[in-house]
Amino acid sequence: MANIRAAITGVGAFLPEYRLTNEEISKMVDTSDEWIMQRIGIKERRILKEEGKATSDMGARAVENLLEKTGTSPDEVDMLICATITPDMNIPATANIIAHKTNIHNAWSFDLNAACSGFIFSLSTATQFIESGRYKKVVIVAAEKMSSIINYEDRTTCPLFGDGAAAVLVEPSTEDVGVIDYINRVDGLGRHHLHIKAGGSLKPASEETVKNKEHYLYQEGQAVFKAAVSSMADVAVEIMEKHNISAKDIAWLVPHQANMRIIEATARRMGISKKQVMINIRKYGNTTAATIPLCLWDYEKQLKKGDNIILAAFGAGFTWGSTYLKWAYDPK
């Protein structure tokens, strides 16, 4: 029997309508469009403003878009993985809520918390279930309402993040397409530089934690920046060397969209020209787990069957990794 590979066979997405511009952020904190564009490269980000709407609402819309585009019935889905660090609530998993909202009743589902590496860790997980022959249709949905954990009085974090969701379908293929390899890594020591201080079992929510704004994302920007630049590039170069591929063999690098300078440094280390790099940070900001599938969704029409693609991510944990895949379909 021919080897089974796990191939992405469709991409869907949902973005909230509201655009939070640098001009508006400049009225909230002491910053400017010029500083944000120079140091980060973000012009605007989408924000889910509607009262009572959560991560699962965006995730469900992305999954509906995916199922419609790929002609997949909800009953055919075997498994759904939701990559998120902004679940609707601590219990239950947001994946279960998304499955319920999209009428996916024959699947089991769970959340995967790997922050900005959430999509690539989920793709590696889905790959196992597809390659083993156990499942035929796995949905990965990366969805984040980052605005729910960002302090809009903190100029060092609030310009960075945005809300959004994107979903992919992963199916078996016996052709020369799909996930070829991945390298994923973590370093728990990195937690000190990027975390949320309260609301977990270490420090449950209290009047004090709310007063001290300890339910917002805490980040030491420079330490995260340095680790992201070196780790993301190292692992992307490692996977290229392992498979003896050079920049000229690669159609696209799809890097996590955290900071334009991190994206450029990663591409430089890989010897890849800017033309081969998917970039949409300017319009969506850092949507954490959703950045990579949102890039695939934005660039879908430019992708051709057999294209060599390198995905690379770095995030809280620390978590990081790189995936080497061959794109499975021509533009439809």
Tokens 């089974």 correspond to what residue? 4
Nearest approach, Cβ of residue 195 and ligand COA (Å): 11
Taking CA atoms, 172 is separated from 8, 58, 135, 243, in Å, by 9, 27, 8, 22
The total number of residues shown for the chain amounts to 332
69-77, 208-216, 223-231, 276-284 -> range binding ligand COA (CB under 6 A) = 223-231
Q: Residues 65, 96, 158, 256: which is the catalytic one?
A: 256
Name the token pair of 235.
């692992």
290 binds ligand COA (CB under 6 A): no
User: Residue 306: which residues within 8 A CB-CB, separation 6 or more?
Assistant: 176, 177, 326, 327
Judged by CB under 6 A, the number of residues near ligand COA is: 20
The interface with ligand COA within residues 224-253 (CB under 6 A) comprises 224-225, 228
Taking CA atoms, 133 is separated from 4, 64, 159, 225, in Å, by 8, 25, 44, 39
- Nearer to ligand COA by Cβ, of 129 and 320: the residue is 320
Nearest approach, Cβ of residue 161 and ligand COA (Å): 8
Q: For residues 238 and 148, what is the distance between their CA atoms, to the nearest angstrom?
A: 36
- Nearer to ligand COA by Cβ, of 156 and 302: the residue is 156
Question: Which residue in 7, 40, 179, 328 binds ligand COA (CB under 6 A)?
Answer: 40
Taking a C-beta distance cutoff of 8 angstroms, is the pair 150, 217 a contact?
A: yes
Nearest approach, Cβ of residue 196 and ligand COA (Å): 13
The alpha helices in the chain, defined as continuous H runs, are 22-28, 33-39, 55-70, 94-101, 118-131, 207-211, 221-242, 260-270, 281-284, 291-298
Active site residue 151: no
Question: Which residue in 128, 132, 156, 273 binds ligand COA (CB under 6 A)?
Answer: 156
50-58, 95-103, 195-203, 219-227 -> range binding ligand COA (CB under 6 A) = 219-227
Binding site for ligand COA (CB under 6 A): 31, 35-36, 39-40, 116, 155-156, 159, 219, 221-222, 224-225, 228, 258-259, 286, 314-315
Which residues participate in catalysis according to the annotation?
A: 116, 256, 286
